[in-house]
Structure 1
Amino acid sequence: MKRIPLAAAFWTMCGTAAAEGAPQAAVELYVDAATRQIFAEPGPGRQRLGRFVPAGDEVAPAATASARGAKGAVAAVPTVSANTSAPRSPSASAKAWYEKIGIRGYVQMRYNQELGEQAKDLKSPGDRFIGREQGFGIRRARVVISGDVTDRMSIYIQPDLASTPSGSSTTHFAQLRDAYADLWLDSDKTWRIRAGQSKIPYGWEDLQSSQNRLAPDRADALNSGVRDERDLGVIAYWSPTVAKERFAYLQKSGLKGSGDYGVVGFGVYNGQGANRPDRNDQLHAVIHVSYPFKFANGQYLEVGADAYSGRYKVSTASATIDGNTFTPSVDAPEAGSTDRRVAAHVIYYPQPFGFQAEWTVGKGPELDIAGRTIRTKSLRGGYAQVMYKFDGGYGSLMPYAKWQTYRGAAKFDTNAPRMDVDELEAGVEWQPSNAVELAVAWANMRRTDVSAAPYRRVHGQLLRVQLQVNY
C-alpha cells in the first residue's frame, strides 16, 4: 500500500477551503518563511496560506484547479484522498521509546589573534584559547540525545567532546554537560520536575545555549555565579501553554531565544558546580521568573529576575604576591562562605532591532590580599548588548555591540581572587543556512588574570573568528 507523503498528509488533515458544503469552521493558516512552521495566527516573517477546514473521514474531493469567488478562498489548493486502504501512522504512544529519541549537536572551531604584545597576557575563564602561543581550537563539540520516553517523562543527555580537565595539558576529553529527566505532572505539560545535572535558572544569557548566543563568551558577572551554568539538583518549572509556544518560537525562529526554562522555576542544587560533588551537605536554593510578552505588531519582549542563596566552600592553595608566599585562611563557618545573588534581565528580541541587558548584585567569598584571608564581600556587574537582524537571499546577518563590567570574586578559581572586568566588544554573525554560522568579533579587554597569583590586570585587544556547524 502506498504511504502518504508528509506534505500530502498535511493537506489531507487541513482539507480545502474550495470544497463545497464543508460543515467545519474555516481556520486561517500562516507559514513562517524561515522555519517553514505552520501557525494559526499572523506574526513577523509569516506568510498567509489561506483559509482551510478540517477533513473528515470521508474521501476528500479531487484537487481543484480554480478558486472560488468568495473572499478568502484559495486557488488550486492541493488535496489528497484519505483512502482508508492507506496505512495510518502509529500514534506517538504506540512507538517504542527508542523510536522517539533524537540526536543532534554542534561544533565550534575558534581562532583568536591578540593585537599587540601586551594582549598576549590576556586570560579569560570563558575561553581557554586566549593567550600566548595559541592557534586553532575546538571550543565545543556537543552531542545531544533527547526525546520522550513516555507521555509523562522526557530525557536529555549532552556530553561535550572538547573539554579540558583542570591541570591537563591535552584537550578533547569527553565530559558530561547535561543528564536529566523531565517528569511532567499534568497532561497539558505545564508543570514539570527536572532532576539531574542541568542548567541552573540564574541569568538569562547563562540559560541561552552557546549554539544561539551572539557573543563568543557569556558575561563574567552572571557566569561567575554558577560554574559551567550547571549543577546537580531538582528544579520545578511552570510554563502555561501560551508561554511554551512563545519560548519555542523565539528559539527556533532565529531570534536567539534561551528556550523554555519556565515562567516560574524554583528548586535546590549542590552549589559546587557541574561535575563536582557537594562539599558541605548544604544545598543552594534558586528561584527564577521570566515572561515573554508579545505586542500587537508581533514584537517580543522578555523580562524577568533570578535569585539564589547558599554556602560555597572555596579551594585554597599557596600564592606568591609581592615576594610573599602564603596560603589564605577562610573567614567562614565549616559549611562554607555566604554565597547569594539576585539578577534582573530584559530582552527586546531583534525584529529587526534588538536589545538585551542583565545586572546582578550579591555577596560571596573573595580574597583579601592585605589580610591574607578569604572573606565575604559584595559584588556587582552586568552587561548591555544591541543587535540588528538582516534577512535576505544571503541568509541571516546579525551585527552586535556588547559592553560588560564586573567587580567581584571568581569564586570557582583557587583562592577566589577579585576579578575586575571592563570590556567592549563588537562583531557580526553570518548564517548562510541553518547548518553553518560564521562569526567575527573584536574586543577591547581590561580584565584580571585570575588563573594564578599575582592576579595582574591586563589590557589588550583581541580579534576572534568562529565557525559553527549544526547537525
Structure 2
Amino acid sequence: MSSGITRWSIPMVVATMLMTVGTVAAAGSDNRALDLYMDTETKQIFAEPGPGRVRLGRFRPMTDEDDRARDVADGQSGEATVAAEPGDSALELTDESGEFSMAPGGRLHAQYSYQDDDLTRNGQPVDAASGTEIRRARFNMSGDLGEDFEYLTEFDFAGNDIAITDVFLVYTAFDPLEITVGHQKHAISMELQESSNDIMFTERSLLNAMTDTLFDRAIGINAKGSGRDWSAQIGLYGDSAAPNDRDQEADEGYGLGSRLTYALVNDTGRVLHLGAYAGLREPADSGRVNNESPAFNIDTTNHSNVALTDTGPIDAIDRATIAGLELAAVAGPWSLQGEYARVGVSRENGLPSLDFIGYYLQMGWVLTGESRRYKGSDGEFKRLQPRHAFSPDDGYWGAWEVALRFDQHDLTDRDVIGGEQSRASLALNWYMNDYVRVMLDYNRILDVEDSPQRDTGGGQPDGLNIYTLRTQFAF
C-alpha cells in the first residue's frame, strides 16, 4: 500500500474509495491500475498529480471476469478473485505493482427467534430459549498474492467470541484447475456449499444435521475444475480449526469430499441443475469427528438449545460415509431445489452399522419477477438481486420472495434412537437492495417420532411452532 494512504485515517480512506468507485470503473474494463490523488483543501479526487494533492494509492478497474469476489467472501473454495459483480463491494487496494491487493467484505445477521415452550424431558420442564442474537458477524479480507495466488481470511465475531471460518490460499495457474489449501468447506452438498447470505431460509434444512456434523469446514487441500456449466472437485481434509483435544496427544481424524455438478440448461432465468456428492470421514484417535462429539442432532433454532431429534454421542465409530443427489431448476421467478442423502456409520467392537437418511425440497417464487441467480462453475445459487432498490420516493420497493420447504430426516437405526421428524417452512424475504435483506420464517413441526423431548401431556412434540425474524446485510 502506498505511503499516501498512511497519512489519512481508515474512515477517510474508506469514504474516499466510495467516492471514487465511479471514476475507477470509468477508466476502462482492463486491469491497468489507476493512481488517484486527493486535493488536501477541496477533498476532490484527481487522476493526475498536482500542487496540494496527496497520492491515495493505486486502484484497479473492475472487469467482466471479476465476478467472483462474493464467492470468496462467502467462504467457498471455488473461484477466488478480488473484484465485484453487481451488489458486491467494489473497494480494493493494490500496491504499485498491482500484484498484491486486498478487498474487505463482511456480513451481519441479527435476528429474533421464538418457539412454543410447552416441552418436557425426563419429566422436567424444558425452556426453549427465545430472544435476540447476533447469528453471524463476520469480516473478511481477500485479494491477490502475486500473479497466480489468491487468498481469503474470514473471522466470525458472533457471541462476543472470535472463530475462524475461512482462511485459505488458492493457486490458479492450472486453468481451469485451481488448488485451495487451508481452512475451508468440504466439497459436499449444494445447500452446505451455498452461503448463508444467499439461502432462501434463515437456517439450512434438516439434512444439515448430517452434512454439517461430518463435513463442514476443516483444514485441507481441495482441487477443483470448472466451466460455465459444470464443476468437479475433490478434497482431502484434516480436522477443523475449532478447539480440540490436543492435550490428549491424539492424532486427528481425516475426511474426503467430492462433488460433481452439471447444468443441462444454464441461461438467464432458465436453469436445470443436476449434482451428486460423496464423502468419507474417519474419527480421531479420541473418537471425535471433525473436532466435534460424534452425535447427529439439530436445534429447532440456533438460539433455542433444544433438539427434537438427537442421537447423542455414538461410541466406537470406525468410519462415516455420505452420498447424496441434487436437483435444482429455475423458470423465471420460480425456482426449485432439493437434495437426498444417506449417511452410513460403521462401528468397532462388533457393533452393527447404522444408516441415517435426510432430504429437503424447497420452492421459491419472486413476487416482483426477478430470477434466482445461478453460477454453473460453482453449481449453486447466489444472492437474489432486486431489479430496483428500495426507494419509496421513486416508487420502488425492492424484491419480494416467498419460499416453501418440506424437509425430513430419520436418525434412528438399530440400537441408536435419535428420532425422526418432518417439518414445513414458509419464508418471506424482502431484498431491499443488493446488500440488505429482511427475512421472516415460520416453521411448523409436522411429525416427530422417538424424540427425547415430550409435550406437557407426555406425547411427541408434534405441532410445534417456530418463528424467526432476521435483518441481514452483506457486502
1:7-406 to 2 correspondences below 5 Å: 8-10=26-28, 94-95=97-98, 97=100, 100-114=101-115, 116-118=116-118, 132-162=128-158, 171-186=159-174, 189-227=175-213, 229-240=216-227, 242-243=228-229, 263-270=231-238, 276=244, 280-295=251-266, 298-312=269-283, 313-314=287-288, 315=293, 330=315, 332=316, 336-349=317-330, 351-364=332-345, 376-391=353-368, 393-406=396-409
Separation in 2, partners of 1:434, 1:395: 9
Percent sequence identity over aligned pairs: 16
Q: Secondary structure at the match of 1:214?
A: coil
Unaligned segments of structure 2, at least 5 residues: 1-19, 32-61, 66-92, 296-311, 369-387, 389-395
Secondary structure in 2 matching 1:212 = coil
Report the secondary structure of 1:205's partner residue: helix
Secondary structure of 1:5's partner? helix
Structure-1-length-normalised TM-score: 0.61
Q: 1:137-169 deviations in whole A, cap 9, x for unaligned?
A: 11111112111112211111111101xxxxxxx
Secondary structure, counterpart of 2:363 in structure 1? strand
Query: What is aligned with 2:425?
Result: 425
* Structure 1 residues 311 and 352: alpha-carbon distance in aligned structure 2, compared to 1, 3 A threshold: same
8 Å CA contact 1:105–1:143 kept in 2: the answer is: yes
Q: Which runs of 5+ in 1 are unaligned?
A: 14-35, 40-89, 122-129, 163-170, 244-261, 318-326
1:468 maps to 472
1:6 Cα deviation from its structure 2 partner: 3.9
Q: Closer, same or farther in 2 for the Cα pair 1:113/1:365, shift >3 Å?
A: farther
> Shift in Å at residue 447 of structure 1?
5.7
Structure 2 Cα separation of the partners of residues 158 and 464 of structure 1: 26
- Displacement of 1:5 in angstroms is 3.3
1:184 CA displacement:
1.7
Q: Residue by residue, what CA displacement relative to the aligned partner does 1:243-265 show, whole Å, maximum 9, x if unpaired?
A: 4xxxxxxxxxxxxxxxxxx7110
CA distance in 1, matches of 2:313, 2:112: 37
Cα–Cα, structure 1 residues 152 and 296, in superposed 2: closer, same or farther, change >3 Å? closer
The C-alpha deviation readout for 1:263-308, integer Å capped at 9, x for no partner, is 1101211257855479555532221101234356751222110001
Name the CA distance, whole Å, in 2 between partners of 1:329 and 1:305: 27
Distance change >3 Å, CA 450–CA 230, structure 1 → 2: farther
AA aligned opposite 1:286: G
What is the CA distance between 1:441 and its match in structure 2?
A: 1.1
Q: CA deviation at 1:328?
A: 8.2
- Is residue 365–residue 409 contact of structure 1 (8 Å, CA) maintained in 2? no
**Superimposed CA distance per residue, residues 364-386 of structure 1 (whole angstroms, 9 cap, x where no aligned partner):** 269xxxx9x97530111110000
Q: Distance in 2 between matches of 1:416 and 1:107?
A: 38
Q: What is the root-mean-square deviation in Å for CA atoms of aligned residues?
A: 4.0
Alpha-carbon shift at residue 135 of structure 1 (Å):
1.4
Q: Which residue does 2:309 correspond to in 1?
A: none
Q: After superposition, give the CA deviation of every residue in 1:317-359 in whole Å (9 maximum; x if it has no partner).
A: 9xxxxxxxxx9883x4xxx422001001112136310000000
How many residues are matched? 334
Match of 2:392 in 1: none
Contact kept in structure 1, 2:117 and 2:127, CA below 8 Å:
no
Once residues 169 and 451 of structure 2 are traced to their aligned partners in structure 1, the CA distance between those partners, rounded to angstroms, is: 35
CA distance in 1, matches of 2:465, 2:220: 39
Instruction: Determine the C-alpha separation between the residues in 1 that align with 2:220 and 2:431.
Output: 36
Q: Is the 8 A contact 2:269 2:333 kept in 1?
A: no
> Hey, what does 2:70 align to over in structure 1?
none
Deviations for 1:189-226, whole angstroms, at most 9, x for unmatched residues? 31111111101111100000001111111123244234
CA contact (8 A) 1:111 1:135 kept: yes
Q: Which runs of 4+ in 1 moved over 6 A?
A: 36-39, 90-93, 448-453
Give the direction of change, closer, same or farther, for the CA distance of 1:11–1:106 in structure 2 (3 Å limit).
closer
Whether the aligned pair in 2 keeps the contact of 1:180 and 1:196 (CA below 8 Å) is: yes
Structure 1 equivalent of residue 72 of structure 2:
none
Asked which structure has the greater CA Rg, the reply is 1
CA distance in 2, matches of 1:184, 1:211: 25
> In 2, distance between residues paired with 1:137 and 1:404?
25
Q: Which residue identity is paired with 1:221?
A: L
Structure 1 Cα separation of the partners of residues 120 and 419 of structure 2: 18
Which whole-Å CA distance do the structure 1 matches of 2:314 and 2:441 have between them? 41
List per-residue Cα deviations over 1:62-90 (Å, max 9, x = no partner).
Answer: xxxxxxxxxxxxxxxxxxxxxxxxxxxx9
Contact residue 120 and residue 453 of structure 2 kept, 8 A: no
